Amino acid sequence: MLRIIKEQQEGLLRQRRLPLVLDLDDTLVRLVGNETGRYVPEDQLHLCQDRVRTLRDGRRVVLTDHVHEFLDWAKNYYDISVCSLGDQNYVDMVVSVLDPAHSRIRGIYYSARSEYEYICKSSDARRPSKDLLALYAFCAVNDKAPGCGFSLPLIVDDLTHMWPVDQHDNIIVVKEKKNAEVWTVCLFPMVQTALGYVHTEFFRQLDSWYSKQHEAEAKGMAFSKDPPHAVGIYKEFLRNSLRDQIANGPPS
């Protein structure tokens, strides 16, 4: 079993892809409805007709702007999975409008609905419904190999509290665009820029790490340097972005 888990992890790295988990509701799509809460009202649909899709059960969703272009870009660098609190049928229906040719989202279509319903009925309501361990078994492996623990996957979600605290560093948090006529989330440019930086820098560092490891082995020396950490690189990106904003000063 451990060998199979390691092969999954190593296979991603050989393909030069990182695991990426995308939330659905209020990140990539929003349901249409006149109910109170997170819905796009019917009377706003004329403003976004090109983004409205009908699911197999007759419900409609509004896609976030340029979501297909984002997925077409991301699939070249990331192995994309989705994780939602919707039931499995809903997840499958939404994926079918996001990726009708099954060429963009090639990872896991995961519904955390059963976990959510169980937790709602349990005495420990603080336990989050979503968990990277449910999607990637290799997250349970804590050796010194590249990609151990929670170091590889990134998550794009609008809610952090749906994930365990020790996975919050993996999350790129998105919110709906301010002052937009209709709900949307801006995946370009910042989400794309962050993901592009992490991918480029991770594999640059990984190539260097492997090279130094081979050099040490050829010399009969021990090699103890830790491998690169995709989540650490994401945090570095955030630090650098804040540094640059501070250097630029407030807008005039």
Is the pLDDT assigned to residue 122 strictly greater than 70?
yes
pLDDT higher than 90, residue 229: yes
Please give the pLDDT value at position 119: 82
Q: Is the pLDDT of residue 124 over 80?
A: no
Task: Give the model's pLDDT for residue 251.
Answer: 81
pLDDT tens-place string over residues 159-198: 999 999 999 999 999 999 999 999 999 999 999 999 999 9
In whole angstroms, what is the distance from residue 185 CA to residue 64 CA?
6
Task: Tell me the per-residue pLDDT of 17-47, one tens digit each, with 9 for 90 and over.
Answer: 999 999 999 999 999 999 999 999 999 999 9
For 53-70, the pLDDT digits (tens) are 999 999 999 999 999 999
DSSP code for 111: E
Q: φ, ψ for residue 53 (rounded to 5)?
A: -130, 145
The predicted model gives 242-251 an average pLDDT of 93
Residue 93 has pLDDT above 80, yes or no: yes
pLDDT value at position 125? Answer: 61
pLDDT of residue 44: 98
Identify the pLDDT of residue 126.
66
Please compute the mean of the pLDDT values over residues 7-14 and round it to a whole number.
Answer: 90
Q: Report residue 249 CA to chain centroid gap.
A: 31
Instruction: Answer whether residue 123 shows pLDDT above 80.
Output: no
Q: Which residues pair with 155 in a beta bridge?
A: 21, 171
Torsion angle of C-alpha atoms 196, 202, 204, 206, degrees rounded to 10: -160
CB 101 within 8 A of CB 66: no
Domains of the chain, earliest start first:
2-186 (3.40.50.1000)
Please determine, for residue 90, whether its predicted confidence score (pLDDT) is greater than 80: yes
The per-residue pLDDT of the chain, averaged, comes to: 95
Query: What confidence score (pLDDT) does residue 117 get?
Result: 84
Which pTM does this prediction carry? 0.95
What's the pLDDT score for residue 118? 81
The 8-class DSSP code of residue 32 comes to: B
Strand 60-63 relative to strand 52-54, pairing: antiparallel
Each residue of 5-24: b (16+ CB within 10 Å) or e? ebeebeebbeeebbbbbbbb
